[in-house]
Amino acid sequence: MLHFLPAPLLGALAGLLMLLNILLWVPILLVVSVVKLLLPFKTVRLLIDPLLLRIAEAWIAGNSFWMRLTQKLDWDVSGLQALSPRQWYLVVSNHQSWVDILVLQHVLNRRIPLLKFFLKKELIWVPIMGLAWWALEFPFMRRHSEAYLKEHPEARGKDAATTRAACEKYALVPTSVMNFLEGTRFTPAKQQRQQSPYQHLLKPKAGGITLALDAMGDKFGAVLDITIVYPNGRPTFTQFLLGQVKQVVVRVNTLAVPHAQPAAGQDAEQALREACQGWVNQLWREKDALISQILADKNRL
């Protein structure tokens, strides 16, 4: 509605509304989380966790409000039929921009349980937001290089323990476990360094979803494969606030949860890891073709 404003004024207004929305809901989240921390009993968690999720959903709804108020966005979304907020989901997506987070939350809020993202350990120090992510029990992961792990083998497996601990908590209340399979945002430079075989994507990594499936695979009712496309180019967060993103395409594909049948003498976890890597490689080939098709269709309009 306010998209007629000059870009600098529009960006300042959008940023202010986003900040005010954070300052409204994060203190409430923290107060409720402290109650849960002081009373660490399963019965209390079963009461408090749904309340925390409702607070987070209200926060996301506030973001959707200021987005509608300040952005003239053409949303092209499909695949939301038959989703349920009472079912556990494993959610995977391509990743191009911090805008992806707002897009995913806007499209999926209250259609499925709250998305729980795996975050880098350093993000816990982000002012205000780090506390919010802690309150919502987002797992904070330490990502070590192979060179570091060779020198410090004791660090290997700590992320797996963190993931399993988080997933044990998620098993109590319907949750959507979110994983960006590329592990980082797409850029042409990263694509070139990786020698990625995909035109629009980085190489996918199966480690995160393997751990999630190993910890709570029997809970997930489905996998949601989400493809996000910005037909006018990959945006920065600043460009989004300034109203320079005109169209967002989102495709949601509901898939069966991958399983693995270990061969004779094969370790079950290793079999699951290999099955997941083959599964995500095929998924990424299909996603790359889908992105090409979406861009070709939009260019013809």
Question: What is the model's pLDDT at position 259?
Answer: 82
Q: Is residue 79 part of a domain?
A: yes
Question: What is the model's pLDDT at position 212?
Answer: 85
Q: Is residue 118 part of a domain?
A: yes
Neighbours of 148 (CB within 10 A): 13
Mean pLDDT of 241-247: 95
Mean pLDDT of 162-184: 83
Query: Pick the residue with more confidence: 260 or 116?
Result: 116
C-alpha to C-alpha distance for 207 and 205, rounded to whole angstroms: 6
| Residue 220 pLDDT greater than 60, yes or no | yes
- Whichever domain contains 201, its CATH number is 3.40.1130
Angle between helices 42-70 and 99-108 (to 10 degrees): 110
Residue 44: which residues within 8 A CB-CB, separation 6 or more?
A: 35, 36
Q: What element of type H or E holds 278?
A: helix 268-300
According to DSSP, residue 238 is labeled H
Q: Is residue 131 part of a domain?
A: yes
Q: Is residue 22 part of a domain?
A: no
Mean pLDDT of 57-86: 95
Mean pLDDT of 7-28: 96
Query: Pick the residue with more confidence: 173 or 279?
Result: 279
Question: What is the model's pLDDT at position 90?
Answer: 95
Mean pLDDT estimate for the chain: 88
Q: How confident is the model at residue 92 (pLDDT cuts 50, 70, 90)?
A: very high
Q: What element of type H or E holds 153?
A: none
Mean pLDDT of 220-242: 96
With contact defined as beta carbons under 8 Å apart, do 224 and 96 qualify? no
Mean pLDDT of 260-271: 71
Q: Is residue 105 part of a domain?
A: yes
Q: Is residue 205 part of a domain?
A: yes
Per-state percent for the chain, helix, strand, coil, to nearest 5: 55, 15, 30
| Residue 154 pLDDT greater than 70, yes or no | no
Mean pLDDT of 207-221: 85
C-alpha to C-alpha distance for 230 and 32, rounded to whole angstroms: 37
pLDDT tens digit sequence for 105-125: 999 999 999 999 888 788 888
Number of domains forming the structure of the chain: 1
- Residue 264's domain comprises 73-300
Q: Is residue 231 part of a domain?
A: yes
Question: What is the model's pLDDT at position 148?
Answer: 52
Q: E-strand spans in 62-215? A: 74-78, 88-93, 115-117, 119-120, 140-141, 176-180
Question: What is the model's pLDDT at position 45?
Answer: 85
C-alpha to C-alpha distance for 59 and 46, rounded to whole angstroms: 21
Mean pLDDT of 91-95: 96
Mean pLDDT of 212-216: 83
Q: Is residue 247 part of a domain?
A: yes
| Residue 256 pLDDT greater than 80, yes or no | yes
